[in-house]
Structure 1
Amino acid sequence: MINWHPAAGGSQLTFPRPFDLVDLSFLGIGGLPPEARADFETCLASVLQSIEIHLGMGASGTIVPPAGLVMDAGGTLDVLTEHDLDYAYDAGAALTALGTMAQRIAGRASELRCAALYYRARLPVPNGGAPQEVEIWRTTHWQEPPPQDGAQDAIAIDLEHRAGVALALFVPFTWQDGDRLFLGEPLAGLSRRRYWN
């Protein structure tokens, strides 16, 4: 069951402290290391603001290109994007962009504290808690009708910290009453570490 919230709009965040809403019990007794939690909160605030701006433009023709965010050792955030791809008509553009940004993060890992990649995804219909594949939403899907099988659109956020933790967050979204954006409370799970092993 998804708890829906109307998007705050403007510069306000719908979820200013998203980890307060996420069940992180799968991390065990220690939970997130304090440094990782603080850095993840900072990165997520920026990512969520970007997402709300993109999605707030409305349902018709909204393309959310994949993007990334890194935090350097001094705490400065840097946005990663791939502008030289045709997101509207190249079905492989999202995967190409994610791969290129992941390589850039890996190449800079020694000077970074935290990294995030985010992209539009389609969550399958829940099936009692069993593992399921999440489909990366190809930016060309805007040309197709929405799924009718109960799947849910979401923004996937892959977070990793040099403290040795990697999480996958999903923020479900929908538009109601025309183009009014609603966001679901974030869902989280463990992810595979890619940059700091």
Structure 2
Amino acid sequence: MSSWRAAGDFPPTYPHPMQTLTLMLMDGSVPRRARGDMDACLAAALEGAEGRLRPEPDASLLYPFGLVMDADGVLRKAGQYDADYAYDATATAGALHHLAEGYRARAAELRCAVITYYVRMKEPSPGDTAPVDVRLRRSTDWRIDAMAPPAGTVDAVAMEAEHQSGCALAVFMPFAWQGPQQEFVVGDLMAVPAKRRIWPDA
């Protein structure tokens, strides 16, 4: 991994993720008017994910959730809470589809949306800015195998962030528990352009 850092006593580790990502995305893929909205949504999503991950490796069931910013700039959390994440191996993929469909139906009322879930991917090398070999991490996988991922791989929080202006990013924050005290650590943010699902014609 290019670098690990101990997560702070209180989340989020990345209070302004777009400041980090703008340096990485110098291609103009995120318009200036979208950066503030995406920054607020991503920071809130990261804070929520860290809050669930921080206590210990197997403290809680990890399930996908979403955040939207409405026309007035208010953030609201969403999720599919009636899904059986503990025993249904397809629940996570189904929830991602459900969240995206729900946001698309309300697209005219929203400015920005983020869908957050967990993945396992190839461990980045120093200087890597794009994730490789990303695979959905199901909640059932997490319960069966809560310990360290196989050599050469790393677990990560994945966020699909989309703005009504037409830009979409896939953002990744690697995480792990290291050392005898199982300290919670996070890696450098990574991002790549993503497919638009909520405002496909923007």
The verdict on a shared fold, with TM-score over 0.5 as the criterion, is yes
Percent identity of equivalent pairs: 38
Identify which of 159, 162, 165 aligns with 2:161.
159
**Deviation per residue, 1:24-46 (Å, 9 max, x gap):** 55552x35212210001111121
Mark the CA change 1:125 to 1:42 in structure 2 (over 3 Å): closer, same or farther: closer
Distance 2:12 2:81 in 1: 26
- 3-state SS, counterpart of residue 21 of structure 1: helix
Mark the CA change 1:82 to 1:130 in structure 2 (over 3 Å): closer, same or farther: closer
Distance 2:4 2:43 in 1: 18
Cα offset, 1:133, TM superposition: 3.6
Identify which of 177, 189, 192 aligns with 2:192.
189
Mark the CA change 1:179 to 1:62 in structure 2 (over 3 Å): closer, same or farther: farther
Corresponding residue of 2:178: 176
Does the aligned pair in 2 maintain the 1:8–1:14 contact within 8 Å?
Answer: yes
Corresponding residue of 2:137: 137
Does the aligned pair in 2 maintain the 1:4–1:183 contact within 8 Å?
Answer: yes
Which AA in structure 1 matches 2:178? Q
Cα offset, 1:81, TM superposition: 0.7
Mark the CA change 1:90 to 1:50 in structure 2 (over 3 Å): closer, same or farther: same
Does the aligned pair in 2 maintain the 1:5–1:14 contact within 8 Å?
Answer: no
Corresponding residue of 2:14: 15
**Deviation per residue, 1:147-167 (Å, 9 max, x gap):** 324111000000000111000
Distance 2:19 2:129 in 1: 22
- 3-state SS, counterpart of residue 167 of structure 1: strand
**Deviation per residue, 1:108-131 (Å, 9 max, x gap):** 001110010000101124598898
Distance 2:29 2:78 in 1: 28
Q: Describe how 1:73-152 pairs up with structure 2 within 5 A.
A: 73-125=71-123, 132-141=132-141, 142-144=143-145, 146-152=148-154
Mark the CA change 1:27 to 1:110 in structure 2 (over 3 Å): closer, same or farther: farther
**Deviation per residue, 1:27-83 (Å, 9 max, x gap):** 52x352122100011111211111111001210254221000111111011111111
- Gap regions ≥5 residues in structure 2: none
Identify which of 56, 59, 62 aligns with 1:58.
56
- Gap regions ≥5 residues in structure 1: none
Cα offset, 1:18, TM superposition: 1.5
CA RMSD of aligned residues (A): 2.2
Does the aligned pair in 1 maintain the 2:121–2:131 contact within 8 Å?
Answer: no
Which AA in structure 1 matches 2:165? A
Tell me the TM-score normalised to structure 1 length. Answer: 0.90
